[in-house]
Chain A
Amino acid sequence: MSVAIIIENVVKRYEKTTVIPNLSLQIKNGEFFTLLGPSGCGKTTLLRMIAGFNSIDGGCIKFDDKVINEIPAYKRNIGMVFQNYAIFPHLTVKENVEYGLKLRKVPKSESDRRVEEILKTVKMYDYKDRLPDKLSGGQQQRVALARAIVIRPNVLLMDEPLSNLDAKLRIEMRSVIRDIQKQIGITTVYVTHDQEEALAISDRIAVMKDGVVQQVGTPCQIYKRPTNIFVATFIGSSNLIKAKINIENGERYVVFNKDYRIKMNNLSSNVKDGQDVIVSIRPEELKIANKGLKVKILKGTFFGKFINYEFTLIDDNVFGENKVCEFVQDISDTNKFLRENDIIYLEPDLSRINVFNEDGSINLIEDVILYE
């Protein structure tokens, strides 16, 4: 049955390039664990190492206490769901789902019962005698899910299973997957590059970049306290503003310009007076106020529930190339709509914003969790 996955110092090389230099993770039994990162970050490579389709060039992967490095893929008892569904086109829906059971020599009566049960769970029972080419993408992915789960695998591995579906179906299928996973309680490793999907579906997320895990945590932890600028900008969006640390009478301030500074109570004790920092503020963490950052509105986009404004800082010390920032205004909060070229003040929510060191590699807030 379901197992924990322990990944210890694994290495993956292709020819001479090292894709994963040294990676360790612990995935708990029954957990929905997501590997999230941009393309080329090694997330699919790692998943395929767990599956057995890629060799492990260093370190080891364990299912509970058992090292699986040398066990070939077909003996690992995994359920895998692929991006392109990978449904056998020459078999009907029922035959597809039966495939793994037949190989395991499950008796006919039990096999029929399990196939029926799982097809009803994924709501595909009415289609059981159809051939795959008569099914839509979403239906094919339901069959693929049923086929992977019905064999009661040790772990369920999913490689971007929703990225070939259209936006609406993606949201529908993501809750189908989440519900079924919770219902049967199987350890699941899910690969995606879609941060919104990862936030919505996961128990925990590992954010990866260049084969290195940046941060592991619950969706909420990662969103609220990203460990570095990469995570802060990859998950959700963040305005990055240059500032300096000022320490006065033991109190720590973040100074944006000569007119505006904020007092921070949760900065780590390592910060030094005069240190350059980058303040990361999410669009929803800014509020219109009488004092604060002086900005000019460039454009407003109406989304129904909220309005998204693009602005630039008048003091012009935004980090990076793109100097356009964003903030959102809840419709219910105000009746006043801003117009182009309006000059206003914005005040950040002190408890929520993040402060990074000069190169963006370390979050200077006290309660950041690097590995939950």
Chain B
Amino acid sequence: MNKRFKFDFWTIVTLTILGIFLLFLVYPLTTLFIDAFKEPLTSKFTLANFQKFFSKKYYYQALINSIVSATSVTLLSIIIGLPIAYLMTAYKIKGKRLLEVLIIISMLSPPFIGAYSWVLLCGRSGVITKFFKHNFNLNIPTIYGYVGILLVLTLKLYPFIYLYVSGALKKIDSSLIEAAESLGSKPSRKLAFVIIPLILPTLLAGALLVFMNAIADFGTPVLIGEGYNVMPTLIYSEFISEVGGQANFAAAMATVMVFLTSIMFLIQRYIINKKSYVMSSLRPIQIGELKGISNYLAHIFIYLVVILSIIPQLTVIYTSFLNTRGAMFLHEFSLKSYRTVFSRLGKSITNTYVYGFIAIIIIILIGMLTAYISTRRRSTLTTVIDTVTMFPYIIPGSVLGITLLLAFNKGYIILSGTATIMIMAFVIRRLPYTLRSSAAILYQISPSIEEASISLGCSPVKTFFKVTSKMMLPGVLSGAILSWITVINELSASVILYTSNTRTMSVTIYTEVVRASYGTAAALSTILTVTTIISLLIFFKLTGSKNISI
């Protein structure tokens, strides 16, 4: 366009959005990285924080644990998710639709609920543990530590592999497979030489997503990990125990963590850019039917996994209606937990909805406007914004919590303990879903539609609100629903940022579990899970789609 600088509406939007990101993301992160290289008292440049981390086993063991557990979770998720995706796409499975919905629900409900219900079932005084103890005098293997983390995270994260891979499988045209068969390929060979290579890039992308989620998760290891320290829990405990407010060591650990996730993120980008095949399926793979024993095995396998992954939700819903005495559930139904929740913890419910609502409005606004400027008003500034909006992918929630707190508990802008800081954490963490879906739909809208409106006498800004935004809406909503669900379930950043006035349901569930108030935790978890499910159902209804894009 013109070389002259035009100070129009979109310039203001660009600068505003850039300002928000600079203030709430770039500035805090820079502060964090600088802090990591500072001596706590003198503020001199030092590498001592990193030396401390890498010299004491207690610290660096957490890094090793993080990598080991995230890698195991990723491998297990592939082992489970890949066959399910293949079986569900290629063969007739009874109750497929329901299974799909259950898989999505188990993916979208908060992982700490999973951890907490497995503790209820198989923990030291868990139902199953006691059952085996009393009837058979058997000690079942402990659920705490590495095994528990593995169990909970795998059941929560294999859906990513499932969704990614079945998406890719649906795009394979059956003519490719027929071509392989016509060239003399046996069924087993066609799987190994045609299908696997075609879905490999997608599988790797999904695997890295699982890895990133697993390594950044805070709720699961904190509830079920016990002595098994991982980076997010270590950062959290080091940060919380720094009474004087000198968080340089925690900052150093956060830096190590961000360094690791950045590398993974770059690898993921590289794979997606270099190795993805463009396929469009005119004729998807024919759905076949398994016969005899293999049919039974397939059904047993799929149902077992899906039931296992949905058990936590069922457990919390069931136990939320039980009467309690202290940490104990009694064998009688009661609404006592709900009464307690509403009388004592009602604030956390309103907080969740109010903050969530404000956050989702901001997310939709920023998401649509950012998508618009970076696809239609390209400039150096939008390139900067594009890069900055990638940050949330690589910054674990707990790290984001610490950065925001460090940046805004002193200086000119003090936000610590406010609702604003919670909402901003939500916005930054969950914006990418909405941003990406908004950009995706914009690419499908021809610019000439906007030009048509302008040529008819509508100013460009008015055109955006009158035409473009309306056409964007379906795409925006499909991302916004994901943002919304993940906002109300957010724990790892809010657990650092909350105060008694600003706590949300997920934070309260966490604190209630920690003080062994299982009944109220179950009631809150039920409210949260039901909200999630209703949101999902509304989404399915609104978009008419049967799937959800991650």
User: Do A and B assemble together?
Assistant: yes
Smallest CB separation, B153 vs chain A (Å): 43
List A69-116 residues whose CB lies under 8 Å from chain B.
72-80, 82-84, 86-90, 99-100, 103-104
Selected interface stretch from B97-105, B165-173, B455-463, B482-490: B455-463
**Which of A53, A76, A89, A103 sits near B458, CB closer than 8 Å?**
A103
Cα–Cα, bound, A254→B446 (Å): 54
Cα–Cα, bound, A171→B501 (Å): 72
Q: Say whether B246 faces chain A, with CB atoms less than 8 Å apart.
A: no
Is B455 touching A74 in the complex (CB atoms < 8 A)? yes
Cα–Cα, bound, A78→B449 (Å): 15
Give 5 closest A-B pairs by Cβ, nearest first: A100-B456, A80-B455, A86-B452, A86-B448, A82-B448
The 24 sampled A-B contact pairs (Cβ below 8 Å) are A53-B454, A72-B459, A73-B454, A74-B455, A74-B457, A74-B463, A79-B456, A80-B451, A80-B455, A82-B448, A83-B448, A84-B448, A86-B451, A87-B452, A88-B467, A88-B471, A89-B471, A99-B458, A103-B457, A144-B452, A147-B452, A147-B456, A148-B455, A148-B456
Is A90 touching B451 in the complex (CB atoms < 8 A)? no
Q: Say whether B189 faces chain A, with CB atoms less than 8 Å apart.
A: no
Is B451 touching A103 in the complex (CB atoms < 8 A)? no
Is A53 touching B451 in the complex (CB atoms < 8 A)? yes
Cα–Cα, bound, A75→B460 (Å): 11
Cα–Cα, bound, A100→B456 (Å): 5
Is A74 touching B459 in the complex (CB atoms < 8 A)? yes
Neighbouring B residues of A86 by C-beta, 8 Å: 446, 448-449, 451-452
Is A74 touching B449 in the complex (CB atoms < 8 A)? no
Cα–Cα, bound, A90→B448 (Å): 15
Neighbouring B residues of A83 by C-beta, 8 Å: 448
Is A78 touching B455 in the complex (CB atoms < 8 A)? yes
Q: Say whether A27 faces chain B, with CB atoms less than 8 Å apart.
A: no
**Which of A53, A73, A90, A148 sits near B470, CB closer than 8 Å?**
A90
Q: Say whether A35 faces chain B, with CB atoms less than 8 Å apart.
A: no
Q: Say whether B2 faces chain A, with CB atoms less than 8 Å apart.
A: yes
Is B471 touching A74 in the complex (CB atoms < 8 A)? no
Is A88 touching B452 in the complex (CB atoms < 8 A)? yes
Cα–Cα, bound, A136→B149 (Å): 57
Which of A74, A76, A89 is packed against the most chain B CB atoms within 10 Å? A74
Smallest CB separation, B9 vs chain A (Å): 12
Q: Say whether B278 faces chain A, with CB atoms less than 8 Å apart.
A: no
Is B448 touching A74 in the complex (CB atoms < 8 A)? no
Cα–Cα, bound, A281→B458 (Å): 51
Smallest CB separation, B456 vs chain A (Å): 4
Q: Say whether A151 faces chain B, with CB atoms less than 8 Å apart.
A: yes
Is A151 touching B456 in the complex (CB atoms < 8 A)? yes
Cα–Cα, bound, A363→B255 (Å): 74
Is A99 touching B453 in the complex (CB atoms < 8 A)? yes
B-side binding surface: helix, strand, loop or mixed?
Answer: helix
Is A74 touching B2 in the complex (CB atoms < 8 A)? no
Q: How many residues of A contact B (CB 8 A)?
A: 30
Neighbouring B residues of A76 by C-beta, 8 Å: 455
Cα–Cα, bound, A74→B455 (Å): 5
Q: Say whether A55 faces chain B, with CB atoms less than 8 Å apart.
A: yes
Q: Say whether B1 faces chain A, with CB atoms less than 8 Å apart.
A: yes
With both beta carbons as reference points, the residue of chain A lying nearest to B473 in the complex is identified as A90
> A77 with B449: in contact, given A88-B467, A89-B471 (CB under 8 Å)?
no
Cα–Cα, bound, A32→B481 (Å): 51
Residues of B within 8 A of A (CB): 1-2, 446, 448-449, 451-460, 463, 467, 470-471
Is B457 touching A75 in the complex (CB atoms < 8 A)? yes
Neighbouring A residues of B459 by C-beta, 8 Å: 72, 74
Neighbouring B residues of A84 by C-beta, 8 Å: 446, 448
Neighbouring A residues of B455 by C-beta, 8 Å: 51, 73-74, 76, 78-80, 148, 157
Smallest CB separation, B103 vs chain A (Å): 32
Neighbouring B residues of A72 by C-beta, 8 Å: 459-460
Neighbouring A residues of B446 by C-beta, 8 Å: 84, 86
A38-62 to B contact mask, C-beta < 8 Å, 1/0: 0000000000000111010000000
Cα–Cα, bound, A87→B458 (Å): 15
Is B1 touching A74 in the complex (CB atoms < 8 A)? no
Is B451 touching A104 in the complex (CB atoms < 8 A)? no
Is B2 touching A100 in the complex (CB atoms < 8 A)? no
Neighbouring B residues of A151 by C-beta, 8 Å: 456-457
With both beta carbons as reference points, the residue of chain B lying nearest to A88 in the complex is identified as B467
> A74 with B458: in contact, given A83-B448, A84-B448, A99-B453 (CB under 8 Å)?
yes
Cα–Cα, bound, A354→B484 (Å): 72
Which of A75, A83, A103 is packed against the most chain B CB atoms within 10 Å? A103
With both beta carbons as reference points, the residue of chain B lying nearest to A76 in the complex is identified as B455
Cα–Cα, bound, A88→B451 (Å): 11
With both beta carbons as reference points, the residue of chain B lying nearest to A55 in the complex is identified as B2
Neighbouring B residues of A89 by C-beta, 8 Å: 449, 471
Neighbouring B residues of A73 by C-beta, 8 Å: 451, 454-455
With both beta carbons as reference points, the residue of chain B lying nearest to A51 in the complex is identified as B455
A288-332 to B contact mask, C-beta < 8 Å, 1/0: 000000000000000000000000000000000000000000000
With both beta carbons as reference points, the residue of chain A lying nearest to B449 in the complex is identified as A86
Smallest CB separation, B455 vs chain A (Å): 4
Is A82 touching B451 in the complex (CB atoms < 8 A)? yes
Neighbouring A residues of B1 by C-beta, 8 Å: 55
Neighbouring B residues of A147 by C-beta, 8 Å: 452, 456
With both beta carbons as reference points, the residue of chain B lying nearest to A157 in the complex is identified as B455
Neighbouring B residues of A82 by C-beta, 8 Å: 448, 451-452
With both beta carbons as reference points, the residue of chain A lying nearest to B455 in the complex is identified as A80
Which of B452, B459, B460 is packed against the most chain A CB atoms within 10 Å? B452
Neighbouring A residues of B453 by C-beta, 8 Å: 88, 99
With both beta carbons as reference points, the residue of chain A lying nearest to B1 in the complex is identified as A55
Smallest CB separation, A348 vs chain B (Å): 46
Neighbouring B residues of A51 by C-beta, 8 Å: 451, 455
Neighbouring A residues of B460 by C-beta, 8 Å: 72, 74
With both beta carbons as reference points, the residue of chain B lying nearest to A100 in the complex is identified as B456
Smallest CB separation, B249 vs chain A (Å): 49
Cα–Cα, bound, A76→B449 (Å): 17
List A140-163 residues whose CB lies under 8 Å from chain B.
144, 147-148, 151, 157
With both beta carbons as reference points, the residue of chain A lying nearest to B446 in the complex is identified as A84
Is B457 touching A77 in the complex (CB atoms < 8 A)? yes
Smallest CB separation, B472 vs chain A (Å): 11
Neighbouring B residues of A77 by C-beta, 8 Å: 457
**Which of A55, A100, A157 sits near B457, CB closer than 8 Å?**
A100
Neighbouring A residues of B471 by C-beta, 8 Å: 88-90
Which of A80, A86, A147 is packed against the most chain B CB atoms within 10 Å? A86
Smallest CB separation, B280 vs chain A (Å): 20
Smallest CB separation, A310 vs chain B (Å): 39
Neighbouring A residues of B449 by C-beta, 8 Å: 86-89
Cα–Cα, bound, A10→B449 (Å): 27
